Structure 1
Amino acid sequence: MIRTEGLAPGDPLHSARSLAAEFEVTVPTVREALRRLEAVEVIQFRHGSGTYVGGGVRRRLLANPHTGGDLASVLELVDARLLIEPGIAAAAAANRNDEQLAALEATTQNALVPQRGNERPREHFHVALAAASGNALVCDTLAALLDVRSRDQVEIRRRYHDRERDHEEHIEIFRAVSEQDAAAAAELTRTHLAAIRDTVITLGEELG
């Protein structure tokens, strides 16, 4: 229905009762379906206002809210990022424009902002880095990966809490991109993610 009616994030949906009548099912069935869609952010409940299309409707990948958060899952995400992001950083250094560079610079401050629970920055540094690559599909893919594995991202931030170091390394990556030094951007990104991986492993061993 969202697709056939051309609805976009923020658009309102009919009430559960109206949807039940439209699809010829019971109201509890509709409510259960809506709860499952809410879990992957395809729809959004607003207290006292109704049900709306959520931002997840545009994602190419959807999260499983019941997985992730353990050490193996966190390391899988970091390893995936190690494979993907150095190349993204090199492409960003080669292709970035002034607008993308300004957006990337703005996100370097994220590391210094305290976050609680499932809070996430409005614009992720590494997503802004991917946007600077000039390849929209690459940017969408990385953003979707971080959304799909958001619980793992929260766990990474909880385990890797050296905010000053994180900030300094983001600044170094930004400078390499600004100077269009693709090799340095790739290596700095690789070193940055490898340090996160090492910290996660060390803490996991200490806790395990």
Structure 2
Amino acid sequence: MTSNTSLSERIADGIVAMIEAAGLEPGDALASSRELAKRFEVTTPTIREALRRLEATDVIRFRHGSGTYVSGGVNRRLLVNPHVSGSRSESVLELLDARIVLEPPVAAAAAAQRTEIDLAALTRSADNSLKPQHGDERPELHFHVALAGASGNHLLRETVEALLQVRARDQIEIRHRYTDRERDHADHVRIVEAVRDGDPAAAEAMTRDHLIAIRDTLAATLGTDVTEQHG
């Protein structure tokens, strides 16, 4: 490791510590590169290298013509590899299989532990299914992340959020291929109702059925694509 690389890593850690100390949240503006250079007593290119490191793990995001902003990765323990290869049929189904194992018991925990604040966030996020999204655009609060958040366990929320971020390309592929928005929304509403009713068994069963239905649909469409490619 070169001295420059070591320095940029230390500066990146210092910027994260500064974000935490200031209580900045995703969407909040960060100081300019020039201001950061003065604060850390280094050159502007060194700051930019540190910021590029943080951008790669979604701790910060650059907005052209606007500045640098704190992003969702600042609170994430599991990091995204920005150089991962594109989505494949196997990886899409693997993601759904993992979610089927992980998320239903999380939903049960949500039904047992949810607060009124959790229910409000969950209700708002349920409507994401009906909102059109373009390209790599993702909802501000993913329904299943909100569901995990309602469990009251921060690590469970981080785990679900990190899984969806780490496999973001697969998740985008799922949304593009699973187009029954009305059913998706109806499933989410039923899960919210089970959580609101404090019914862990129902919340778990409905979440499992919801994810299995998506997997079955994806398996069928991906199987058709594979057949066509080899036809």
Alignment match of 1:158 (pick from 176, 180, 194)? 176
Alignment match of 1:65 (pick from 71, 82, 85)? 82
Query: Which residue of structure 2 lines up, in the alignment, with residue 119 of structure 1?
Result: 137
Q: 1:69 to 1:93 in 2, by over 3 A?
A: same
Choose between structure 1 and 2: higher helix proportion.
Answer: 2
Query: Which residue of structure 1 lines up, in the alignment, with residue 18 of structure 2?
Result: 7
Structure 1 letter corresponding to 2:30: D
**Which secondary structure does the structure 2 equivalent of 1:3 belong to?**
helix
The count of aligned residue pairs is 205
TM-score by length of structure 2 reads 0.78
User: Which ranges of structure 2 fall in alignment gaps of 5 or more residues?
Assistant: 1-10, 227-231
Alignment of 1:107 with 2:125, yes or no, is yes
Aligned-residue offset at 1:95: 1.1
Structure 1 letter corresponding to 2:166: V
Matched residues, percent identical? 55
Separation (CA, whole Å) in 2 of partners of 1:31 and 1:14: 7
**Which secondary structure does the structure 2 equivalent of 1:65 belong to?**
coil
Alignment of 1:205 with 2:215, yes or no, is no
TM-score by length of structure 1 reads 0.86
| Deviant stretches of 4+, over 6 Å | none
Q: 1:135 to 1:198 in 2, by over 3 A?
A: same
Conservation of the 8 A alpha-carbon contact between 1:63 and 1:148: yes
Conservation of the 8 A alpha-carbon contact between 2:62 and 2:69: yes
Conservation of the 8 A alpha-carbon contact between 1:13 and 1:52: no
Question: Aligned runs of 1:42-61 on 2, under 5 Å?
Answer: 42-61=59-78
Alignment match of 1:39 (pick from 36, 56, 62)? 56
Query: Which residue of structure 2 lines up, in the alignment, with residue 89 of structure 1?
Result: 107
Aligned-residue offset at 1:43: 2.9
Q: 1:52 to 1:133 in 2, by over 3 A?
A: closer
Bigger shift: residues 34-43 or 139-148:
34-43
Separation (CA, whole Å) in 2 of partners of 1:79 and 1:150: 15
Query: Which residue of structure 1 lines up, in the alignment, with residue 7 of structure 2?
Result: none
Structure 1 letter corresponding to 2:55: E
Structure 2 letter corresponding to 1:98: E
**Which secondary structure does the structure 2 equivalent of 1:108 belong to?**
helix
Separation (CA, whole Å) in 1 of partners of 2:66 and 2:116: 40
Task: Tell me the alpha carbon deviations over residues 137-177 of structure 1, each in whole angstroms, 9 at most, x when there is no partner.
Answer: 11111112111211111110011110001011111111111
Alignment match of 1:188 (pick from 203, 206, 209)? 206
